[in-house]
Amino acid sequence: MWSHYASNHGGNCLQFETARDVLTFTQIIKIEYSDDYPVVNWIKDFYDGVERIIGTKYRTWSYERETRILIWNAAHTYFSWRPDALQVIIIGCRTKDNTLQKLQPLLAERESAGLPMPMLYRAVQHESTYRLVLRTEKNYHLA
């Protein structure tokens, strides 16, 4: 998943405790995987059609077991969640220093606001196999 969605391992992954923000995380659409494009009647079922289009991917991608959050009329806006829902930040194995430098003040702001600090992990390439290993970051000084 890192190579597909995190700028070839250069991004970060956020893990949430969905029960801490039920209003946000109950808007999840579970992706359906199919060999065929979804058929939509845009006149009768516009909203259902949008959900079917957004919620369908080619069967080859089924190993992702993807879910998506769909919030109507929220295009080009920031996505927010309850701060205490954020539990883990995983730093990609190719995350650049400037990305880490942007993360540091956000974590400091969170700490000064008295919010719980998420666990920090760094993804690193395994020494002998094609997989990633998560290593705990001991402190919040990332750069």
In whole angstroms, what is the distance from residue 120 CA to residue 35 CA? 38
pTM (2 decimals)? 0.77
**12 lies in the same domain as 51:** no
**Number of structural domains in the chain:** 2
Answer whether residue 75 is part of any domain: no
**111 lies in the same domain as 54:** no
Answer whether residue 53 is part of any domain: yes
pLDDT, mean of residues 100-111: 89
**66 lies in the same domain as 33:** yes
In whole angstroms, what is the distance from residue 108 CA to residue 127 CA? 33
**13 lies in the same domain as 37:** no
Range of the domain at 66: 28-70
Residue range 14-28, pLDDT digits in tens: 999 999 999 888 888
Answer whether residue 17 is part of any domain: yes
Answer whether residue 135 is part of any domain: yes
